[in-house]
A and B are shown apart, each in its own frame.
Chain A
Amino acid sequence: MKNKGGKRVGHPVVSRRTFLKAGVAVGVGAAAGPFVLRKAKAQGIQKALPEPGPDELRIIESAKKLKKNVDLSFVAWGGHAKGQMEHLAEAFKKHTGIGVGSIVDISFAMLSQRAMAEALARSGKLDLLHVHADTVPTLATAGLAAPLDDYMKAVDFDYTTVGTFADMSRHEGKTYGLVTDGNCHIYYVRKDILENPDNQKRYADKYGAPLKMPNTWKEYLRQGAFFGSDPNTMTGFGNLRARRWGYWWFLINYYNHGLFPFTADVEPNFDNDAAEAALVAYLAEKPHVIRDFDNWGTAQMWLHVGSGKAYQSIYWGGLLPLWENPQKYPRVAGKWLHGITPGKVQPNGRRLVRTIQAGAPLVVANRHSPNLDAAAHMAMWWTSPRNSTYITGGPISTVHEPWRPVHFKDPYNKKVYTPSGLDAMFLSLQVNSPTVRVTGALEFNDLLDKHVSDAWLGVVKPREALKRVDADWRKVIARVGKGRLRKDVESYRRAMPKVDEPVTS
């Protein structure tokens, strides 16, 4: 219908309702389509749910004795909780009547805060929580995490881990959580670039040293500078420097200098020459990286490295199934050498290699839950030898990486992570170190990160940044109390690697 001026008036040909309906249909289709396709594709290579072995049968028998028919609530990031953990919970429900009814899906970065909120509220409505290993002392002190030792003893629970993962879930001799994910940083370097004869010659001409997989930080930095001379075409390093994450890479350097964040007298230990050298090494990457502000696990850095724009990277092992997948990342798949982070010879002559865990998640049972015993059994069920092997072998990209010795012998895991990738993970886990893990870990870590981040920006000189870390930490130490922290620091030291260098077998 048109008016005298010829302009269209009244209802349009397509009504608003029809338009909105069509919009909703298109939206739902667009959102669900790829998911359904991906799911179907994933199902094709998904390994079967394992039959319970002797360890799992003991857990089932113990859980049956509880005579419970309960659906637990589980606070976790969906990426962790969906899929394998969900399938196993369904199986456990059939065996014992104990299942997972609701998954409270929140961002991984928010898990500790959610756990602390529950520690204060003591609602008991959240039975299981998936938290960062470093928050164990805080959550134990706050009275949220329940010790699981008695439950573990009752079923003779096998908690054998590579490296010190078991100690990362312990505090003052008690086990407050069970690991589900061996989140650990391994070393990636581009084999095709490293072994290219032209590059070998150019590098040898320039430095008078052969171009080989770096064994020291000096070699590592030199190679990064060499191949990352024009970061717009290729960066020398594919590591993160974002606020709240970037300091992990500093800590690798720091630990590698044989340092520990607290002195014997529970004083901060950053204002010294060795820590300054570690920070200077961390900052040396700046001219050869993209200046982006990547958060942990964001697609930007995956894409950057995965699209062949970084020469080397110290990043988490869970990216192996992506970067070695020719369908997803054809530019880099099959072109990697995997290994451990470079090491450093200490003043006493021994060589030390250290890497860092990327927020290894633990299942923690809520002390205030009316279903604490059922929750403890579910935690053990997920992390038992066979079931944890099933969890760590994800469909295409897994977020649960291997952590038990048995995981590294699993043929399916060898296929998912590649044999050399799996070897690199095995080596790295042996020298895997936690981030600062004492009561108040979030504050200690954030203050360290803040000043390291300021140094990265050039706002303060490295030594000044470290002085400020010490000053800020002293205030927190005074608030938390040295008496408490002394015990925490002991637990922290126990969670540090037991070996200087990893061994292959």
Chain B
Amino acid sequence: MPGGDPGPGASASPGLAFLVWKKMAQATMVRRKGGFLRWWALTPLVLALLFMIPVLLLQIYLSLHQWTAYLGPWWTSDFVGLDLFWQVLTEDRFLRAIARSFVFAGTSTLLSVLIGFGLAYLLQSPFPGRGFYYMFFIIPMLTVPVVVGYNFQMLLYQSGPVNHILSLLVPGEVRISWLGEAVPAFASLVFIETWNWTPFVMIIMLAGLVSMPKEPVEAARVLGASRRQIFFYVTLPLMKPVLVLVIILRFLEALAEFPKFWTVTQGGPGTFTETIPVYLYLTSWDYFNVSKAAAMSYVILLVVGTIIYIAIRLLLKQKRSLDTMFTRSGG
């Protein structure tokens, strides 16, 4: 109807169109806002990458060139291809350092988790003095690792307090050379690490225990399950994701432990406590062989990356099994 009356629907059309436009505009704005926020949230990641990528690239460059810091600028170093990687992967000292690091991280993590979980289990129910015990148990974690190292070095001296106390408890004089012999030195460091970081495990496990749903435990109790059965068949499966998380975190942290090794034994006696961080430090800051240290770092990155990948897979698996369990139980 050109030139004619718009008709009854015509007056509604612009209104409807306006409404539709408004709705669309609102939706677009929300989308835009969402998009904007999404990108905004990504900014730290982008910045981190911008910061990290040059470093990683430089490290790749260095690992492919032989640069010793005191022999000239890095850009004049000779290209050696993958020689340094081959050198590292076939070096007995490096492989031993990796093995030591894994044994150290594994044993200290296992002990921390066992003791930390035990303490958390004891502390989960309220009782008089619980706050005091909580504070008391977390003190080691609040102590600076270097201080922990120096203090234990003094305590573990052959004629020091630890041997003195042991001598009071057992017949005869205890004269263990805790830091002067291979196995005691390594065991001492595992103990120190466990002492230092058990509280961390305890805190996380305690948080997990407290936030655990009470119904399954109540149901098991009503069905006549013993405390042992409740622990092994209800509590432990429910705590698995937390347990896996804490094991991963603790293991990775222990793998990178340096201050205690350096303050207590400096990698000795011999090289019995020379772990990856100690050897890396020596290579870069005593030998100034920055290129070899770069190649070592990449090998370690690969190893740790694999562990993290497996760990994430494990965590996801745990999460899925828990989700399935709660879905089935109608939770």
Contact = CB atoms under 8 A, between A and B. Distances in A.
Contacts of A138: 70, 288
Interface string A40-70: 0000000000000000000000000000000
Contacts of B269: 242-243, 293, 453, 456-457
Q: Is the interface of A mostly helix, strand, loop or mixed?
A: helix
How big is chain B's contact interface, by range? Answer: 20 to 34
Interface string A418-446: 00000000000000000000011011001
Contact of B70 (A241, A295, A440, A454): A440
B179 A142 contact: no
Given A290-B159, A479-B66, A480-B68, A450 B286 contact: no
A120 interface: yes
Contacts of A244: 266, 268
A229 interface: no
A440 B157 contact: no
A291 interface: yes
Contacts of B69: 116, 119-120, 142
A364 B274 CA distance: 32
Given A293-B265, A293-B269, A456-B270, A443 B179 contact: no
Contacts of A139: 70
Contact of B272 (A457, A479, A480): A457
Nearest to B87: A475
Contacts of A243: 265-270
B285 A113 contact: yes
A457 B182 contact: yes
B282 A446 contact: yes
B276 to A, nearest CB: 16
Contact of A453 (B71, B270, B285, B287): B270
Nearest to B268: A243
Given A116-B70, A443-B288, A292 B157 contact: yes
A7 interface: yes
Contact of A443 (B181, B267, B270, B286): B286
B179 A293 contact: yes
Given A7-B128, A116-B288, A446-B286, A142 B266 contact: no
Interface string B9-25: 00000000000000000
B323 interface: no
Contacts of B286: 113, 442-443, 446
Contacts of B287: 440, 442-443, 446, 476
Nearest to B281: A113
B177 interface: yes
A300 B180 CA distance: 13
A454 B96 CA distance: 14
B175 interface: yes
Contacts of B68: 440, 479-480
Contacts of A459: 182, 270
Nearest to B188: A293
A502 to B, nearest CB: 33
Nearest to B73: A120
A293 B180 contact: yes
B107 interface: no
**Max count, chain B CB within 10 A of own CB: residue among A138, A292, A476:** A292
Interface in B268-312: 268-272, 282, 285-289
B157 A295 contact: no
B66 A457 contact: no
From A241, A453, A481, residue with most partner B Cβ within 10 Å: A453
A239 to B, nearest CB: 13
A27 to B, nearest CB: 14
A459 B181 CA distance: 11
A291 B185 CA distance: 11
Contacts of A291: 158, 177, 180-181
A291 B288 CA distance: 31
A40 B71 CA distance: 48
Contacts of A293: 153, 177, 179-180, 185, 265, 268-269
Contacts of A481: 71
Nearest to B175: A232
Contacts of B253: none
B179 A292 contact: yes
A397 interface: no
Nearest to A457: B270
A476 B269 CA distance: 23
B284 to A, nearest CB: 9
A446 to B, nearest CB: 5
Interface string B109-136: 0000000000000000000100000000
A216 interface: no
A116 B286 CA distance: 10
A199 interface: no
B218 interface: no
Given A291-B180, A439-B70, A442-B286, A300 B157 contact: yes
The interface centre, meaning the residue of B182, B268, B286 with most chain A CB atoms within 10 A of its CB, is B268
A161 interface: no
Contacts of A200: none
A163 B150 CA distance: 37
Among A138, A300, A446, A457, residue most surrounded by chain B Cβ atoms (within 10 Å): A457
Contacts of B282: 446
Nearest to B185: A293
A300 B264 CA distance: 13
A119 to B, nearest CB: 7
Nearest to B292: A479
Interface string A467-489: 00000000010011100000000
A121 to B, nearest CB: 11
B181 A141 contact: no
A459 B274 CA distance: 15
A293 B182 CA distance: 11
A304 B159 CA distance: 9
A45 B66 CA distance: 55
Contacts of A300: 157
Contacts of B266: 242-244, 295
Interface string A111-123: 0010010011000
Nearest to A246: B268
A439 B71 CA distance: 9
A457 to B, nearest CB: 4
A495 B20 CA distance: 92
24 contacts: A116-B70, A116-B288, A120-B69, A232-B173, A232-B175, A241-B180, A290-B158, A292-B179, A293-B177, A293-B179, A295-B266, A300-B157, A439-B71, A440-B70, A440-B287, A443-B289, A453-B269, A453-B270, A454-B270, A457-B269, A459-B270, A479-B66, A479-B71, A479-B289
By Cβ-Cβ distance, the 3 closest A-B pairs, closest first, are A243-B268, A291-B177, A293-B179
Given A141-B71, A291-B158, A292-B180, 18 more contacts: A113-B285, A113-B286, A116-B288, A119-B69, A142-B69, A241-B180, A290-B158, A290-B159, A292-B158, A304-B159, A439-B71, A440-B68, A443-B287, A443-B289, A450-B270, A453-B268, A457-B272, A459-B182
Interface of A: 7, 113, 116, 119-120, 138-139, 141-142, 232, 241-244, 290-293, 295, 300, 304, 439-440, 442-443, 446, 450, 453-454, 456-457, 459, 476, 479-481
